[in-house]
Amino acid sequence: MTDRAIRDLILQMRLNPDYYDIAPSGHQAFAINQRRLYETHPCAMLCGLKAVAAYIAESPERPEFGPRWLDLCAEDNRRFRVELDLMRRELGQLSANLGVSSD
């Protein structure tokens, strides 16, 4: 998976959440552990590998769709976390340049 694919995945989740399974809104830590440890799901990147990580994502722009599952294999999860970290840093830098808080 490329960095572009990660950004496309994030955009896809915002534009077409119906592709992703509906996730619970409460007790998320428990639900994530249950899904990750006791259920089998394919990686959302369609690489053909079994997901080993599960996230619950929500779009602030589209709250009507509610929380959705994002399941990733080990490699795609690593790249996803790297990309999220990069996006957080970019947001922090942009916020600092504008003189606003990124919290």
The pLDDT of residue 19 is above 80: no
Per-residue pLDDT at 35: 94
Residue 2: its pLDDT value, please? 52
Rounded Cα distance between 93 and 87, Å, is 10
Strands 68-72 and 53-57: what pairing?
A: antiparallel
Q: Where are the domains of the chain?
A: 3-98
How do residues 30-65 score in pLDDT, each as one tens digit?
999 999 999 999 998 888 899 999 998 877 777 788
What are 56-89's pLDDT values in tens digits? Answer: 887 777 778 888 898 999 999 998 888 888 888 8
